[in-house]
Amino acid sequence: MKGIVFTEFLEMVETQFGLEVVEDIIEKADLPSEGIYTSVGTYDFNEMVSLITELSKQVNLPPGDLIYAFGRYLFTSLKDAHPEVIQSYNSPLGLLYSIEDHIHVHVQKLYPEAELPTFKILEKTDTTISMIYSSSRGLYRLAQGLIEKAFEHFNGSAQISYELLKEDGTEVKFDISQNG
Ligand code: HEM
């Protein structure tokens, strides 16, 4: 997993829960990197799992809720770090439709070691989109937060529902319907 994901995660934790919590979860997670990340480095995904597990214990919130909140935070971080990646889109549904074939293709060029999920579009109308998230990392709640923020980026909102096609969250169907 790319370092930018770790640095942004720790920044969110610091903002929401304070520096002491950051230091505490890094210590308890017993990380090979010792919690020292650079945005262009690449680190074992298990380090993220450990950090989220420790944060969940520390703040007494479910891991999924923390991952979802991080997805919302991460959208803004990625947008600020790489504005050119989303500049050409003028609607949230257009942006979502292009994750697989354009956005993450671009991301793979920026970060050759990135391990990205796949999104298979099942159906798209003027106001809705259905797609299947697949990834061995099972970060579908991260996807939910990112999707929600994509609508807010265009000053909109949406009903976002999801259904686990595999119990471990490695395959999840999203049904998204734009409000208004
Ligand atoms: C709403 C739109 C987007 C969605 C739903 C989405 C979804 C995701 C998800 C769920 C992951 C976690 C990895 C996994 O599940 O296997 C991920 C990783 C990533 N995405 Fe996206 N993404 C979106 C837009 C973007 C944009 C606009 C950028 C860059 C400007 C971006 C850059 C990245 C990067 C750098 C990673 C980390 C890859 C790694 O650590 O190896 N994504 N994305």
Provide the terminal-to-terminal Cα distance of the chain, rounded to the nearest Å.
36
Contact between residue 12 and residue 25 where contact means Cβ atoms under 8 Å apart:
no
pLDDT at residue 117, rounded to an integer: 98
pLDDT tier for residue 3 given thresholds of 50, 70 and 90: very high
pLDDT at residue 40, rounded to an integer: 87
Ligand 1 center to 5 CA (angstroms)? 9
Domains of the chain, by residue range, sit at 3-61, 89-178
pLDDT of 111 strictly over 90: yes
172 Cβ closer than 6 Å to some ligand 1 atom: no
Angle, in degrees to the nearest 10, between helices 63-81 and 3-17: 120
Q: Which of 78, 82, 86, 141 to mutate to test the pocket of ligand 1 (most atoms within 8 A of CB)?
A: 78
Q: What is the per-residue pLDDT across 144-157, written as a single tens digit (0 to 9) for each?
A: 999 999 999 999 99
Q: Which of 9, 47, 82, 104 to mutate to test the pocket of ligand 1 (most atoms within 8 A of CB)?
A: 104
Q: What is the per-residue pLDDT across 125-176, written as a single tens digit (0 to 9) for each?
A: 999 999 999 999 999 999 999 999 999 999 999 999 999 999 999 999 999 9
pLDDT of 110 strictly over 90: yes
Q: Which atom of ligand 1 lies at the shortest distance from residue 45's CA?
A: 40
pLDDT tier for residue 180 given thresholds of 50, 70 and 90: confident
- On average, the pLDDT of the chain sits at 97
Closest CA to 82 of 101, 103, 98: 103
Task: Average the pLDDT over 113-119 and give the result.
Answer: 98
55 Cβ closer than 6 Å to some ligand 1 atom: no
110 Cβ closer than 6 Å to some ligand 1 atom: no
Ligand 1 center to 126 CA (angstroms)? 24
103 Cβ closer than 6 Å to some ligand 1 atom: yes
pLDDT at residue 45, rounded to an integer: 98
What percentage of the chain carries pLDDT values higher than 90? Answer: 98
176 Cβ closer than 6 Å to some ligand 1 atom: no
Instruction: With H, G, I as helix, E, B as strand and everything else as coil, classify residue 159.
Output: strand
**To which CATH superfamily is domain 89-178 assigned?**
H-NOX domain (3.90.1520.10)
